[in-house]
Amino acid sequence: MTTNVDVVLPCLDEAEALPAVLRGLPTGFTALVVDNGSTDDTAAVAREWGARVVAEPRRGYGAAVHTGLESATSELVAVLDADGSLDPAVLPTLVSLVLDGDADGRVDLALGRRIAAGRHVQPWHARAGNAALAALLRRRGVPVHDIAPIRVGRRDRLLGLGVRDRALGYPLELLLRAASDGWCLREVDIEYRPRAGGRSKVSGSVRGTLRAVRDMSMVAIRT
């Protein structure tokens, strides 16, 4: 693959997990770490591994992703969780789908669908929350089985969707807006592994999962 792709990595205290993610990026993929107010050495570790670092002091997953998209310079942009649970080796497959389409035609947004590597990789409350949100999306006409923890699309078109949420509801609003605009979405199965380090702010606790489901459900009502 000769196309250069910026990989937006929204980060909040991911110094422990980042090296595994950055080490695994394929050739042609450039890390763009968005430090979302970390209190650990996230920014320093990212720079040590050669990543470009942008600061976004407004807390929120959506704020970090939006700043990453605005700061990216490549035509195609990937967004990837920075905890090491998803193998970056799938990125060229997602890029190829957007560039070349598939047997059914064009692909506007390529997504990863998490397949847990073991029963204990994803806590029960996280599995239940994700299943509920994916079912909500399908009822709204979005043909997905996950909430796009890894995705590839064209930068200008992603920004053009006008996603407003700057918190945990960002990916759900993005999918709803993309489907409403007639985008063709394709999911690719990707192994979901234990974090490379640290603790999840969402799936790491029942409270975190419930907060995410609440925020995303409110976005669905507004969108």
Return the domain boundaries, the chain: 5-222
Residue in 181, 172, 165 with CA at minimum distance from that of residue 149:
172
Element (H, E) at 134: helix 124-139
List the pLDDT tens digit at each of the 223 positions of the chain. 557 999 999 999 999 999 999 999 999 999 999 999 999 999 999 999 999 999 999 999 999 999 999 999 999 999 999 999 999 999 999 999 999 999 889 999 999 999 988 767 676 677 888 888 899 999 999 999 999 889 999 999 999 999 999 998 999 999 999 999 999 999 999 999 888 876 655 544 566 667 767 777 777 778 7
**What's the confidence (pLDDT) of residue 209?**
67
pTM of the model: 0.90
**Rounded distance, CA 84 to CA 176, Å?**
26
Cα atoms in the Cβ-side hemisphere of radius 13 Å centred on 47: 7
3-state secondary structure of 189: strand
**What's the confidence (pLDDT) of residue 206?**
60
Residue in 198, 90, 195, 194 with CA at minimum distance from that of residue 148:
90
**What's the confidence (pLDDT) of residue 120?**
72
**What's the confidence (pLDDT) of residue 201?**
57
Q: Return the CATH number of the domain spanning residue range 5-222.
A: 3.90.550.10
**What's the confidence (pLDDT) of residue 124?**
66
